[in-house]
Structure 1
Amino acid sequence: MPADNKFELCCNRPECTKRYPNRRDCDKPPEAILLKQLQYNQESANESANNKLLNSKSRAVIDGLNERRWALMYLQHLATRVGQTDTVELNLSDLPDLEALSLNNSQNTFPPSLVYDSSPEAHIEVLEQRRIDAQIVNKAGWAALDTLALGLASDIRNCPEDNNIAFRVFDDYRKARFFPDRQDIRCGNWQNFDINRTPIRDEAEKHIEYFMTPTDYISMSTSPGRIWNIASSRAKNSVKATQKIAVIDLRVLKRLGIAHGSTTEDLGFRHWNKTYGTGTEFATKHHVLVLGWLPSRSIAGVLSMEQFEKLLGQSQIDVSGHSKSIPLSEYEKKIDFESISKALYEKGASAWCKDLLKLPV
């Protein structure tokens, strides 16, 4: 390796390398060949260990840079919401994203390459310093973002009406992940998400139809019965063990300018007609798409599946049958927030919810 080498963030260095003696070593005595192989084995082990550490450090740096970009992007967005209370509608374009199709517009959000000493130790030291630097910026950026979000939504004090409550099921395997450190939920494509990019109808439809590729959207439902159906019917037992249901206050999304809308009533998708094969599968008035982000301030709390099932029973929402045999009328029933808040308090509600309910933190 040359003395001066460009430092690139890379996470796919081979972590299981193997070296073998050269052909010219075959003429040597067996003892010499064995000694050479032992030497190669040790060198391979050292290289694999270094590569594993370099990959881990690189991933940490990339995650930190993505976190920084996300926080600064939404900090700028929320700053524009000061003095504004209008709803930011989720307007979908029927045209493809020309910028994404352009071959000359590749955007790199990472800093330019650095020049570093070629030794693995120096390389690791550079990565560790970049990780620490990103962490420092992230801490400040997220503190400002949280403060601004709390301030903007500080006038939302009373309990939400039934039509302002939505539910999001999440687990350890879904693409739209819950981030415990930040207590927020981000879309599956959050590392590349750009809030200023025009949402595309075709991409939204793929998301609604349960497309496997990560998207810019997060699905949730205003129907407790429907969200239970989704959580209980699609998951394997290993997934069900990690499932939880987040309670979302739609008023906060509106106040923070987080674009969202019902897939049929707001976004104009037609409900799936199985007979004629028309419409969009899983598009219903209860199915709400959120663009990008569910900030922690919008999440009133998180319920276990057992708690949620108990709430369904208390609200006389019958989901005991097979998903296809549940009457549509059950999907129209609601759970009042007072019952939800009691369940949240039993488990440990988030601080803002306890403050709203005048409960001890």
Structure 2
Amino acid sequence: MQDKACSDGAPGMTRTLLCGVAAISLLTLAQGAVADTCMVSPTDKEVVSGRFGKFRGGGSGNFGSANQKAHMHDGLDFSTSGASQPVYATTEGKITFAGARGSAGNAILIERAGGDVVAYYHLSGFANGVKRGVTVKPGQQLGLSGNTPSTSMVKHLHFTYGTSAKDSARAKAFAENAQRGPFNPGQLPPVFNRQADIGWKTDPAPYFCQTYPIQDGHPEHYPILGKDTKAQHEKLFGNVPSGGVQPDSTAEPVQVAAANADAALADAAGKTPAMYLSDSDGYGALPTPPIGGYDTMSVAEMLTTEATRRFSDAEWNTSITHVSSRALWVDYNRAIGVSNYLSEAIYRKKEKVEALLAVYASQKLAGQRAQTDWAHKRAQKGAVTRSIR
């Protein structure tokens, strides 16, 4: 049955509700996980400013995200022109959560009839009557977009879709760096797991009645990843690029999206995914110590580590001929740091040895000091006796 919002738009909302045969055919891209009805737009502007599935590497690479750790972008960012603008229910459903939610800021979760969940993050406020247990209709205002809990973010709406069907979690993806050696998706661990109150996070694109233009500041990616949300979905899930990952049921769609996005960009650059993300791009470094961080090692372990890395590690011997000059400078500076650390550690050990020798000498001389004190007292006592006489 078609959602009423597919024929009745809310006043003041500029949304094109495409719920005919073409939209239904696009929905089949979700591989059987789509709900019975397509969803209406959550914002008036109807522009996506952040792609689903892209890796955010932490720090400045998180683009102001309140999540300071490296992570995959598990939803779509909808632009609200950097201001607090109305956000709307995309579907009929029951509110299961409305309140503060850690790095998601003020959030609302709505459960659809089939058990799927839509989530709204970073809201600056809630509309009257929006609370847990309330049933909402498509197009009903839920609140205002914002940047909670981090004021460093531009005000926007982060929209996540969680499916209750595990078979919508379709593939594995890249971690931050590709595995060294031949590309093998089986070596790459999942990044996202099922979230108890949301489900399996997946690409929201095919669940919407319409597609949305993507304006993320990277027009060079448009011909590769697609200029709109459903074009990206088809590229990342419908067509697997060279070196990409086939959809399956082993992990979440956000991961296959990230993997295939990187694979598509790598293919456009004439590289394999491993080379595209490798240390030889000038932003990496040589292999790290194989037995742990220097700050946890003894001096002997550090010497063993450095000797192993430079004289017996096959990976080191291979990498040294491929890495950039920047990577070599990074390792050179690390070697200087290790040298300084070793010098300091040796100096501290010398200090301890000298302190122990001083204590030993002091204890050994204790007997002589006692004899000297006794002789001094005896001499003083004899002098007093002679004076009395």
TM-score by shorter chain over 0.5: no
Larger Rg: 2
TM-score by length of 1: 0.23
Higher helix proportion (structure 1 or 2)? 1
TM-score by length of 2: 0.22
